[in-house]
Homo-oligomer: A and B are copies of this chain.
């Protein structure tokens, strides 16, 4: 109905105002270790509803400028130009595509070697880790990250190549960067979690059955599905059941 919406609330620009003020606040908040003011405080400071604040933060989180954690606070993301980059010369500055390419390069091979070399104890450990992963609440993101990472690392460990395990750890350390939490969370939904759980199950069964090619293939499928989920959340706002 293109008729003039008319008589919209005179404070028509409030939403824009909240987002604008948030952007300014982020600019003046270079400390990435200190949380931004709480939503309830921002609500009062900008004199808008909390929903407004959260909408604006949703935008900023989608843009990668901030990341939020329940119980902890909202933090500025990779906004600041100065990244310490202190510890190692390894490219800490990477991006999700590079990480997924690297994972696709080594983890299928890791699964293959694990199918050839894993001891029964290591296979049992994978099963236990998977049980822990499956009994988690679907919205328990941090825990899922933790146990999922532990599962993949158990495979890398069982592959019996310390050098490849070191490479896996290097990738994993970059993969878990907090600034990508928003993308990772967006790429997770119940349907996908079920699919990933199925992948995990099939991977470990192939490893237990000593089927290296199949283990590598399913691992590759798993990572490709993950990569696709990241891509779709970045490009599409709508949820296409691609793949």
By a beta-carbon cutoff of 8 Å, the part of chain A in contact with chain B is: 2, 9, 12-17, 19-20, 23, 31, 33-35, 38, 55-56, 59, 62-64, 73, 82-94, 98-99, 101-102, 104-106, 109, 113, 121, 125, 128-129, 132, 143, 146-147, 149-150, 154, 157, 161-167, 169-174, 176-178
* Residue pair A87, B88 in contact (C-beta under 8 Å): yes
* A77 CB to nearest B CB, Å: 12
* Residue pair A173, B94 in contact (C-beta under 8 Å): no
The secondary structure that dominates the A interface is helix
> Can you list 27 A-B contacts (CB < 8 A)?
A2-B73, A12-B33, A13-B87, A15-B173, A16-B87, A17-B173, A59-B146, A62-B128, A62-B129, A85-B162, A85-B163, A85-B166, A88-B90, A91-B163, A98-B164, A99-B163, A101-B109, A101-B113, A101-B164, A104-B109, A105-B105, A105-B109, A163-B171, A166-B170, A167-B167, A167-B171, A170-B170
A94 to B84, CA, bound (A): 23
Partner of A163, one of B9, B109, B174: B174
A162 to B89, CA, bound (A): 11
* Residue pair B83, A167 in contact (C-beta under 8 Å): no
Contacts A62-B129, A63-B125, A173-B17; A35 near B2 (Cβ below 8 A) = yes
New contact pairs (20) apart from A62-B125, A82-B157, CB-CB < 8 Å: A2-B35, A9-B31, A13-B87, A14-B178, A15-B173, A17-B176, A20-B173, A23-B169, A59-B150, A62-B128, A62-B129, A64-B121, A86-B166, A86-B169, A88-B88, A93-B162, A98-B162, A98-B163, A106-B106, A167-B170
